[in-house]
Structures are given as C-alpha cells and as structure tokens.
Amino acid sequence: MSITEISVHELALRLADHDPNLQLIDVREPEEVAMASVANFTILPLSQYQEWSPTIATQFNPQAETLVICHHGMRSLQMCQWLQSQGFTNVKNINGGIDAYSLLVDPNIPRY
C-alpha cells in the first residue's frame, strides 16, 4: 500500500484550520525537536519505539487523519508504513520534513 504525501504548504494550511481531529506525529529525536519544531505535534522518537508502540492504537484514532513529520521525510515515511500495518487508514507523510517547512513556510524555525 502506498503512502500519501503532502507538501509543507499543505501542512501549513491544515495547521491554520485548527482541525481538532487532525493527529500530528513527529518521529525525530528529543534533541532534534529542541532545535526546531512545529507546535501541536506529539513527539514519538523512532528510537523509543519499544516504549510507545504498544499503545499507539489507544493513544491515536486509527481512522483519523494522521500527519507524520521528521527532518527530511524518510523516518516519517517508515512511521507511516508502520502505522498502516497497525490498521491506521488515513496516514500522510510530510514531504521534505521540518527542513522543508523551515525553508518554504516558516523561516523562524531553525534549520539543522
């Protein structure tokens, strides 16, 4: 099953909508998030998979739209694939990650 990707411009529009049903996941490491982040994302570092994976289907609604971000889009793609394998039906990868978001949407977010 293929993963849908959205642009950082689309992410900015979706964030501006303040949709309470939109689920936002950031899979970067805590030290990366400390350097650069977008508000309202739940931090689930891939390196801590063993800690958060058992409760993913109770922490998030598998039917709700779920957007996943990382630094450039590779780790988030892995997470999207895993979420689909866990029964999540509306998962989208943020193309280019936080780096593209900083470059193209919000230059106040530092690049690293």
Largest CA distance in the chain: 36
For the question of residue 70 being annotated catalytic, the response is: yes
Planar angle of CA 63, 48, 22, nearest 5 degrees: 25
Distance CA(65)–CA(111), nearest Å, equals 27
* Per annotation, catalytic residue among 70, 79, 91, 100: 70
Tell me how far CA of residue 65 lies from CA of 21, 56, 68, 72, in angstroms.
7, 14, 10, 21
Residue 8: count of CB within 10 angstroms of its CB = 23
Catalytic residues: 70
